[in-house]
Amino acid sequence: MRLGSAELRELLASIAEGAAERELHDVSPFEQVKAVAAAGLGALALPVDEGGQGASVRELLGFVIDLAEADPIVAHVLRTHFSQTLGFVRGGHTRWLDEVRAGKVFGNAISETGAVAAGNHDFTTTLTEAGDGWRLDGVKYYSTGTLYSDWISVAARVEGDRVATVLVPVSRAGVTVVDDWDGMGQSRTGTGTTRFDGVAVAPEEFLTVRPRHEPRAASDVPFLQLYLQALVAGILRSVATDAAALVRSRTRTFDHAPAPRPVDDPILQETVGRLAATAWIAEASVLAAADAVQAAEDAVRAGEPTDEVGRAASVAASAVKVHLDRVAADAATTLFDVGGASASSRAKNLDRHWRNIRTLTLHNPASYRASALGRLAISGEELPRNGYF
């Protein structure tokens, strides 16, 4: 299914239909995720000669914005998949490119909880040699998308203070995916617990092995972080659309309102206009930052991942987050200013936009990112280099 095609527009419309109801009643979008994969959209970023559409980072995140407008849960589920696919292309991993072409979905099991600071990869999950292969043991949390996936990307410690990334099928003995994520927003993303109890791992299922403190590819983390802002941009489109629809649906207003009909009220018109402008700017900023991530991706693929391109990608993704975190949450609240008390009806489910946006903003603090950008601007101090920057 091609980007920009009528068929894709129809698919997105079918995903959007019932999305609010699914969210209201806590229904997981298994069918919708399968539909995206079956349409070959999981292979968007593969080069044309590899069976994909050769989508750039800008084009890929443009699609993510469209998908998030239709259903931000479905779009979030695929975050690891699209990131992993870029990694397969970057590393020339033919076996895994075959799986992407076959419509398989990739999830993740990276994060852990505990006293260790997030981002330093001091994992308790381990890989130990066992006969002709390896044994995987540990518990992971925030495994977004894994509930819907065919393969799980797992990070674990190996001997010599190194970190390995391996890919194991969800169905393998010893793998347990627990649907225990209870967040107030993005609630059906499968962001739960994943356990590995003596899971067999074959040597050919290793993707990378690297020193624990070795930085990841210059484009990798900025893409993952900017992806979250693409989700926010898609939700903001829905905020603006729902605000306009809410005004159109109102049949009465207050006695002291500046116009007898809500649709003619200049205050409500201005509010909806500001929300539309916020959504437009959000999308534009994500797509502009995508070009910086693309430059870093190109440099990595060319074997020239300079500090400059990596820094530029991180700055771009961070700047978008620092700005959007605040204005997006404000916009989702402002939506209610164009409605009466009935706008708070649970049946309307308009609060889902704020809950989803606020949950997405919590992935890492905007305050820390703003502070890091400030130090870079004032004294030239380098940005942090971990899985959250």
pLDDT tens by residue, 222-275: 999 999 999 999 999 999 999 999 999 999 999 999 999 999 999 999 999 999
81 sits in the region (left: phi over 0; alpha: psi -120 to 50; else beta) called alpha
Q: At what angle do helices 94-101 and 79-91 cross, to 10 degrees?
A: 140
User: Hey, what domains does the chain have and what are their CATH numbers?
Assistant: 6-104 (1.10.540.10), 109-211 (2.40.110.10), 219-379 (1.20.140.10)
State the pTM of this model. Answer: 0.97
What whole-number distance in Å separates Cα of residue 289 and Cα of residue 318? 9
Residue found under tokens 């600071």: 117
Using 50, 70 and 90 to split pLDDT, how confident is the model at 385?
confident
Residues 6 or more apart in contact with residue 111 via CB below 8 angstroms: 118, 140, 141, 142, 143
The three-state secondary structure class of 201 is: strand
Non-local CB neighbours of 341 within 8 Å, separated by 6+ positions: none
Per DSSP, what are the bridge partners of residue 160? Answer: none
Residues 181-236 have pLDDT tens digits of 999 999 999 999 999 999 999 999 999 999 988 888 899 999 999 999 999 999 99
Q: What is the DSSP letter of 146?
A: G
Going by the DSSP 8-state scheme, the letter that residue 169 receives in this structure is E
